[in-house]
Amino acid sequence: MPKRTLIRGGEVVTPTDRFRADVLIEGERITALGDGAQWDADTIVDAAGCLVMPGGVDTHTHLEHMSANGLTRTADDFHSGTVSAAFGGTTTIVDFVRARPDQGMYDAFQRRLESAEAQCVVDFGFHPIVPPTAGDATFDELARLAREGATSWKFFMSYPGTMVDDRVLIQGFRRCAEEGVLPMVHAENGTLVADATQRLLSDNQTAEHQHHAAHSHVAEREAVHRAVTIAESVGSPLFVVHVSSRLAAEEIARHQARDFAVFGETCPQYLLTSYEDYAGLGFEAAAYVCSPPIRERANQEDLWHALQTGVISTLGTDHAAFTLSQPDDLPPQKPQGRGYFPKIPNGVPGVEDRLMVIWEAGVVGGRFDVHRFVDLVATRPAKLFGLYPRKGTLTPGSDADVLVWDPAADHTITAAGHHTRADYNLYEGMRVSGRPRHVLSRGDIVVSDGELHAPAGRGRYLARATSDTSR
Amino acid sequence: MPKRTLIRGGEVVTPTDRFRADVLIEGERITALGDGAQWDADTIVDAAGCLVMPGGVDTHTHLEHMSANGLTRTADDFHSGTVSAAFGGTTTIVDFVRARPDQGMYDAFQRRLESAEAQCVVDFGFHPIVPPTAGDATFDELARLAREGATSWKFFMSYPGTMVDDRVLIQGFRRCAEEGVLPMVHAENGTLVADATQRLLSDNQTAEHQHHAAHSHVAEREAVHRAVTIAESVGSPLFVVHVSSRLAAEEIARHQARDFAVFGETCPQYLLTSYEDYAGLGFEAAAYVCSPPIRERANQEDLWHALQTGVISTLGTDHAAFTLSQPDDLPPQKPQGRGYFPKIPNGVPGVEDRLMVIWEAGVVGGRFDVHRFVDLVATRPAKLFGLYPRKGTLTPGSDADVLVWDPAADHTITAAGHHTRADYNLYEGMRVSGRPRHVLSRGDIVVSDGELHAPAGRGRYLARATSDTSR
Amino acid sequence: MPKRTLIRGGEVVTPTDRFRADVLIEGERITALGDGAQWDADTIVDAAGCLVMPGGVDTHTHLEHMSANGLTRTADDFHSGTVSAAFGGTTTIVDFVRARPDQGMYDAFQRRLESAEAQCVVDFGFHPIVPPTAGDATFDELARLAREGATSWKFFMSYPGTMVDDRVLIQGFRRCAEEGVLPMVHAENGTLVADATQRLLSDNQTAEHQHHAAHSHVAEREAVHRAVTIAESVGSPLFVVHVSSRLAAEEIARHQARDFAVFGETCPQYLLTSYEDYAGLGFEAAAYVCSPPIRERANQEDLWHALQTGVISTLGTDHAAFTLSQPDDLPPQKPQGRGYFPKIPNGVPGVEDRLMVIWEAGVVGGRFDVHRFVDLVATRPAKLFGLYPRKGTLTPGSDADVLVWDPAADHTITAAGHHTRADYNLYEGMRVSGRPRHVLSRGDIVVSDGELHAPAGRGRYLARATSDTSR
Amino acid sequence: MPKRTLIRGGEVVTPTDRFRADVLIEGERITALGDGAQWDADTIVDAAGCLVMPGGVDTHTHLEHMSANGLTRTADDFHSGTVSAAFGGTTTIVDFVRARPDQGMYDAFQRRLESAEAQCVVDFGFHPIVPPTAGDATFDELARLAREGATSWKFFMSYPGTMVDDRVLIQGFRRCAEEGVLPMVHAENGTLVADATQRLLSDNQTAEHQHHAAHSHVAEREAVHRAVTIAESVGSPLFVVHVSSRLAAEEIARHQARDFAVFGETCPQYLLTSYEDYAGLGFEAAAYVCSPPIRERANQEDLWHALQTGVISTLGTDHAAFTLSQPDDLPPQKPQGRGYFPKIPNGVPGVEDRLMVIWEAGVVGGRFDVHRFVDLVATRPAKLFGLYPRKGTLTPGSDADVLVWDPAADHTITAAGHHTRADYNLYEGMRVSGRPRHVLSRGDIVVSDGELHAPAGRGRYLARATSDTSR
């Protein structure tokens, strides 16, 4: 007989509803919600004064991420990364699989799966990355992966050596349409970015913060439009990751208004930090380097607006942690690009902070309500990436990934206190009033009152279903 | 100890979720959802093969509606109208209160309440209608009504004798903002409508179908824009009832895109019938006469588009039943305007058909999914009109207004089979595959397998809270 | 045999062309352009180094303008006003006729015509102002005036006692359509303005600069949309005078994009001065008070943008000069409203400055070229108001209203140097590099090197033809 | 002493003006306009009852055009093509120069120039075509050509072997910006077109009319947006040739609305013929094959709308004549692609018909006035392509390229009557009421009353100045 856990006394929140109810968990699943006075349980989790929400779903992480050239790797492995996620209330991540040039997609997937299974403390899935050389054979392998639950594929429209041309986009999106796969794009016109980079270098504008100048707003808008056009041409939906520019958001809105199934994700770093934060820094500007870049402060309000009007559907992190110092046990980190921005490893940490900072700026800040919060960080990503109804919701039958959220916490975010291996935090010193008190993953209490109770390897691979792109 | 009812074996559907669960009702309220194998109950409702949804909420009915000049009245009283609603799966209506010129608002409300309490079989609320003469005294009375739960006020921008000028809109919307009331507008520029009517009459274009020619698309767009501007000026949200024109929908979309809180309702008659259906008829065209008018077929697709892209938030009926024949026991009905369209009583029936025809054309027709259906017909109107969480949802603590919906029914809509006193049905002969099997109102089974089990007067007045206009 | 005048050695500029040519004038008309080496003439005007352009056409002046209540009058009469115009290079004005409540339109027109004929030094026309009480009889009189050349009628949508309701707009625009008349609107929702004014007064916010707060952007947008809708409904074009808000400009653009014939005018004061210029002033803020108000600095760039993209078609001045001091020989001027903004006479001077300041900020400032300049200040207003080809162009057959413009002048605008009776100048101290050297009206040199050569009364009434609204 | 010609008694029309005037020509240039009663002349051209307009400027012809693979050539050489142009009232053409893979741009230009100089009967210029392999050396050669008057460069975004990638667009547009050159694009996403073609072939959909299916609207929209983005990134203006899709026109409009300098051309075949005209034909559908394709009838009205609202700036022809039969003296013509659309030479004739058919459908049809006509077919292309003021206008000093246009002609367009070597005419049987009576080129009467008076080789190369992109 399965273990029974009762979350008692909280207020359940979903994208639609908010109600006082106890949540009964039997084994790994939720079995009932309601007045649980008569329900007995092995374990009682006290949720008094708390909101009870589905565990966070972050569909954009880069753990144990090797650079395309094989020369560097992110600071977080699957263990430190998922521990950090769990502390932040995120109980599902979807990460990426990239094959080395000499490697098949399926083989790459297997090795990545093994590593993740050995280390993860919460559940995980994978988006395969479509290589620039992809042809029929590659797509056949990818289709096999789709049948094994990798039902979203990532296409890079930028980065030398990784960016795909229109031929691959067309062929790839068509295969997505055929296989029920959701295509995702990193939307920047890589040729424009490369050209701007080259011109900056020619002008000796190599300082860390110049990374920003290499990535124009219009390069992002262009890629969005092109990807939409190709998706539309072959009949697939489209997911645009890390929308950073108001022009890209407007472009997405324009196509949504004619009912084209395009979805956008943005990330906390684009909403809460800005170019002005690092324009005046020296090497420390490297802490902010990611692509698309963290943009001007004036751009933030337009991104929030896109969230508020529903143009942006999900919040991911693009968590790719690198250190500002150079630890001995890690390959080259941020210092690799000291004084020469093209060599700075791209990426910022954030998997642990996502819910706290967005709660603070979004819900406490009056930009949207708690329903929209749950939708952005859990339900919508789960639906779009084929995880629903196992993840992203609190209903009888769904996985008991539950977040007991204390809206009256008083917590200050610091690098000293976080659990990623990154040695800095973009939100250093930010005071937040909402924070996970207990985090459950498939019925297990994995974090409780700031303590971890989860062995490495308890996380499981999630074979994902087809995307639900209804709105 | 309260009566316990268990709805067993169905699949619960909300705007967000869909899951197999039994629903436990104790007394008038839902107390738990989940695996109810261990739950005992006095009554078991079999929901096998069915969807279990919140009962329909129709925030736009005109029962026992007296014309402004006192010369006619709708065919349905509160009894026949709410019986018809219940048969169609609607367990909440919000109707209107209009004071006679010589009558105070509060007095009008009291008399209306008495009549409704004596007759209604499901729960009900009221929107007071703001008179054209409204000044401080009237608004003070309206504010009193708001405190008693009439938290939405209707402003007519058209109809001689009823339409309000900009002064009343400004003062009225400001009071709405101050009192937490949602202002609703009938959005047509009444001066344009009156002018077009006069010109048709001058040209002897008096046939029934000419009603259509008197109500231009741009007259509707104009009123929407003016109402938005005034709402924006005084800081209130805005609800536009019965959006009929694609131009009005576009206008609403434009202001939503800049995050202004404007909401739109449309009605089944605008989506499923068209001017082409009555342009060639003689007197029978009167069956289609309502304002704004039922528009051209080409307009329908744009309205559906507005539903699909979220521009339209709710579906009401504007149910105002008149008969095509002239029964002895009713004041003048449609025949009053035979051959002279300005005298045709405005209004069409539909409170019973709403869910069935929209399920068929919307969900079965592939335009949106079942989640959106529930949102349009129940949850969103409940939220916008301060009825949530009592109505419009299925959560522990909410009223047990439950619809057990058979998605495999095979029903043909006919006037012979409906329960309104209207002697025609706009959807005559339409085959629908979804239909209520059981309808519960506050835990009572009011309709079951086509039989009514509800005494007149069991319906209760709903003191509504403030509108929830978050999106 | 008529007098022959030859303008020699200049460069002729039109909205399309720019070419070196001599201009031959015989009597009042131009007869040839080209190489005039063989052409003899009685008078030679030296245009070496100069541009030769059509004389300015200002279709928006208020000279000898009596307030609606009869209590005040502008400082400029027809003489001082047209002298000021001529010094600024403007050779045609179109002013207004308003009937007193007890007066017929035709009679009002006759008296106004007599006064103007006695005083004007350049040619003039009139726009009748449609009174709020207008019905068939008034429109019949207006139609008679249209046949006598008053082919544009002004409708005020704001100002108590002057603003017309939708009924008058509908009936009036329809008569315009029937009579070939161009309807012009002062586009502000007067009820919103009155309400905002009342609230400011209730709050004791009566300081001069609060005039700005009483006139919102959205009140202007609303009126534009309503006027467009009504014009569209009856089949007339529409001209919106003094567009001041970016929201109004956007509204016009939206309807132009669907090819509706709506045209906009703006004025130099909205482009070159801003609320920030008077927000901090005391009584002197009265110098800036006009309606719509001079808006925020951030609004200027959007108005320039509307000029550059062609959304705004003409530049008028709305010249209505009042003095900041109170001369003995004038009725109450700006001091009337000291400390109480509703009593400040609305209006600013500018008829003399228009070409100079717009040349400086527009052409010298790189916003548009000299062709567009000529179009904005002369050709387009002449076409839209039925003055073309007599005015607004330099072609054989047209009136010899010629401006010899020195683009290498160095002039500083001052109240001390201008010729209006206003005792201040909004552009005080502005250095401009373009200025009239010679100004000809029907072949007469009326201003030359800063000297006036024009007797009062030489100006003639212009019976205008139908508007040319082609674009 | 130069020959003096006097065009007497006509009405001169320019984009701004319309006036009765005689036009005096001395040698090759216009010297005066006006009342020419006193002007003597060697030759009098009677223009009574006629409009006198600048000769047509067609900036988009393909005469003596060799296919990229060297296997075919258009039917018209420079002689037959310019004779056809002259008969149609066009006195300036701008054609293209493409280098063979083994050939330098400058060499290709020289050979093309020699051929044109030997044959043309009217003046001509060239747009060099930027090859897909272009790098610094090629752009240096192109810059040299720009200094010799080839101040616009063509970039193909479609066609295998010809289409350029983003790198070339970026580098090329930047050189354009540096050299004062106007970049022109054939805007279709060539990868999407190739993909669609391949799929049609795989499905055995090879019939002639399937050419249409291979070229989607969105492929054209995509290329417009990408080209705009790149132009914007490097600071150049942009000219989009042969806009065929309403989506492309909307895209252009969107960027013009924010004042970006993008201009569009369309061609008569897109306005006056449609897919429906050839969808049902067999091989004869080849007559309509050009790229972008002639689109659906429903698209025409939106293109006219774009002309009317000013979104489209010029009308060219893309004249590329091929025969439906296969003459012995020509390389493979349309029959080459019988039954297999990818082999049909792309192109349609039209250089002779342009003015007549657009006058009929545009001016006579009430879509725009005669001023806009002159602007579209002569003045605007002259300005945009650096030909103004020599061409495109009738002012003292400009070339005497004059069209004496009979607006009361009654002419039927037929292949039998035209002067191109094409053996069909898309407008066969169309009756037109406007037609050239006399055509002058640099003072020579080259066509008069249907007779040619122009020796081969009288046309001269036009070294063009920098584009005037002011609006």
How does pLDDT run across A378-420, given as a tens digit for each residue?
999 999 999 999 999 999 999 999 999 999 999 999 999 999 9
For C236-257, how does the pLDDT look when each residue is reduced to its tens digit (9 = 90+)? Answer: 999 999 999 999 999 999 999 9
For D40-68, how does the pLDDT look when each residue is reduced to its tens digit (9 = 90+)? Answer: 999 999 999 999 999 999 999 999 998 86
- Hey, are the CB atoms on A470 and B393 less than 8 Å from each other? no
Q: Which of D419, D402, D469, D426 is nearest to D31 (CA)?
A: D402
Residue of C nearest to D383 (CA): C16
- State the best of C395, C466, C468, C470 to mutate against chain D, taking most chain D CBs within 10 Å: C395
Q: Which of A14, A21, A368 is nearest residue B17 as measured by Cβ atoms?
A: A14
For B95-131, give one letter per residue: b (16+ CB within 10 A) or e: bbbbbeeeeebbebbeebbeebbebbbbbbbbbbbbb
Q: Is the pLDDT of residue C200 over 70?
A: yes
Going by pLDDT thresholds of 50, 70 and 90, the confidence category of residue D71 is: confident
Interface of chain C toward chain B, CB-CB under 8 angstroms: 165-167, 170-171, 189, 191-192, 195-196, 216, 218-219, 221-222, 225-226, 229-230, 232-233
Q: Phi, psi (5° rounding) for residue A219?
A: -65, -35
The set of chains that have 3 or more CB pairs under 8 A with D is A, C
Q: Rounded to a whole number, what is the distance in Å from the CA of A398 to chain B's nearest CA?
A: 9
Report the alpha-carbon distance of residue B83 to residue B79 in Å, rounded: 6
- Hey, are the CB atoms on D30 and C32 less than 8 Å from each other? no
Measured between beta carbons, which residues in chain D are less than 8 angstroms from residue A200?
Answer: none
Give chain A's mean pLDDT. Answer: 97
Q: Using alpha carbons only, give the angle B187, B193, B196 rounded to the nearest 5 degrees.
A: 155
Q: Phi, psi (5° rounding) for residue A182?
A: -90, 120
Q: Which residue has the tokens 């359940």?
A: A12
Measured between beta carbons, which residues in chain A are less than 8 angstroms from residue B398?
Answer: 19
Measured between beta carbons, which residues in chain B are less than 8 angstroms from residue A25?
Answer: none
- Hey, are the CB atoms on B233 and C165 less than 8 Å from each other? no
The single-letter code of the amino acid at B265 is: E
The pLDDT of D422-426, averaged and rounded, is 98
CB C240 within 8 A of CB C265: yes
Going by pLDDT thresholds of 50, 70 and 90, the confidence category of residue D116 is: very high
Residue of A nearest to D167 (CA): A191
Question: What integer pLDDT is reported at residue B432 of this predicted model?
Answer: 98
- Hey, are the CB atoms on B233 and C167 less than 8 Å from each other? no
Query: Domains plus CATH for chain B?
Result: 73-364 (3.20.20.140)
- Hey, are the CB atoms on B221 and C229 less than 8 Å from each other? yes
Question: What integer pLDDT is reported at residue C66 of this predicted model?
Answer: 86
Inter-chain CB pairs, C–D, below 8 Å: 104
Question: What integer pLDDT is reported at residue D300 of this predicted model?
Answer: 98
End-to-end distance of chain B based on CA atoms, in angstroms? 39
State percent of chain A over pLDDT 90: 97
- State the best of D8, D11, D12, D17 to mutate against chain C, taking most chain C CBs within 10 Å: D17
The single-letter code of the amino acid at B321 is: A
Inter-chain CB pairs, B–C, below 8 Å: 58
- Hey, are the CB atoms on A34 and B32 less than 8 Å from each other? yes
The pLDDT of C115-140, averaged and rounded, is 97
For C20-73, how does the pLDDT look when each residue is reduced to its tens digit (9 = 90+)? Answer: 999 999 999 999 999 999 999 999 999 999 999 999 999 999 999 988 677 799
Q: Which of C14, C32, C398 is nearest residue D33 as measured by Cβ atoms?
A: C32
Q: Which of A188, A351, A212 is nearest to A286 (CA)?
A: A212
Residue D250: CB atoms within 10 A of its CB come to 16
Q: Is the pLDDT of residue C337 over 90?
A: yes
Over chain B (471 residues), the average pLDDT of each successive run of 10 is 94 97 98 95 97 98 86 95 98 97 94 98 98 97 98 96 97 98 98 98 98 98 98 98 98 97 98 98 98 98 97 98 95 96 97 98 97 98 98 98 97 98 98 98 97 97 94 65
Please tell me the number of Cα atoms within 13 Å of D121 on its side-chain side.
Answer: 25
Q: Is the pLDDT of residue D471 over 70?
A: no
Going by pLDDT thresholds of 50, 70 and 90, the confidence category of residue A120 is: very high
Report the alpha-carbon distance of residue B348 to residue B350 in Å, rounded: 7
Measured between beta carbons, which residues in chain A are less than 8 angstroms from residue D258?
Answer: none
Interface of chain D toward chain A, CB-CB under 8 angstroms: 165-167, 170-171, 189, 191-192, 195-196, 216, 218-219, 221-222, 225-226, 229-230, 232-233
Q: Is the pLDDT of residue D69 over 90?
A: no
Question: What integer pLDDT is reported at residue B471 of this predicted model?
Answer: 65
* SS3 state at B436: strand
Report the alpha-carbon distance of residue C121 to residue C90 in Å, rounded: 11
Q: Rounded to a whole number, what is the distance in Å from the CA of B222 to chain C's nearest CA?
A: 6
Residues whose CB falls within 8 Å of the CB of residue D58, separated by 6 or more in sequence, listed in order: D85, D90, D92, D93, D94, D316, D317, D319, D351, D354, D377, D381
The pLDDT of C181-192, averaged and rounded, is 98
Q: Which of B16, B372, B396 is nearest residue A15 as measured by Cβ atoms?
A: B16
- Hey, are the CB atoms on C31 and D32 less than 8 Å from each other? no
- Hey, are the CB atoms on C219 and B233 less than 8 Å from each other? yes
For A31-50, how does the pLDDT look when each residue is reduced to its tens digit (9 = 90+)? Answer: 999 999 999 999 999 999 99
Q: What is chain D's length?
A: 471
Q: Rounded to a whole number, what is the distance in Å from the CA of C103 to chain D's nearest CA?
A: 41
Going by pLDDT thresholds of 50, 70 and 90, the confidence category of residue D470 is: confident
For C370-414, how does the pLDDT look when each residue is reduced to its tens digit (9 = 90+)? Answer: 999 999 999 999 999 999 999 999 999 999 999 999 999 999 999
Q: Is the pLDDT of residue A471 over 70?
A: no
Question: What integer pLDDT is reported at residue A71 of this predicted model?
Answer: 79
Measured between beta carbons, which residues in chain D are less than 8 angstroms from residue A189?
Answer: 166, 226, 229
Residue of B nearest to A259 (CA): B309
The pLDDT of A11-18, averaged and rounded, is 97
Q: Which of D165, D170, D216 is nearest residue A192 as measured by Cβ atoms?
A: D170
For B231-250, how does the pLDDT look when each residue is reduced to its tens digit (9 = 90+)? Answer: 999 999 999 999 999 999 99
Question: What integer pLDDT is reported at residue B71 of this predicted model?
Answer: 79
Q: Which of C191, C218, C225 is nearest residue B222 as measured by Cβ atoms?
A: C225
CB B7 within 8 A of CB B25: yes
Could you tell me the CA-to-CA distances from A328 to A79, A325, A333 in Å, in that order?
19, 10, 10
Q: Rounded to a whole number, what is the distance in Å from the CA of D240 to chain C's nearest CA?
A: 19
Measured between beta carbons, which residues in chain A are less than 8 angstroms from residue D191?
Answer: 165-167, 170
CB C42 within 8 A of CB C394: no
Interface of chain B toward chain A, CB-CB under 8 angstroms: 12, 14-21, 24, 30-36, 253, 256-257, 259, 305, 308-310, 368-369, 371-372, 375, 379, 389, 393, 395-398, 470-471
- State the best of A202, A229, A247, A255 to mutate against chain D, taking most chain D CBs within 10 Å: A229
Question: What integer pLDDT is reported at residue C471 of this predicted model?
Answer: 65
State percent of chain A over pLDDT 70: 99
The single-letter code of the amino acid at D306 is: A
Give chain D's mean pLDDT. Answer: 97
Q: Which of A35, A310, A397 is nearest residue B396 as measured by Cβ atoms?
A: A35
Q: What is chain B's length?
A: 471
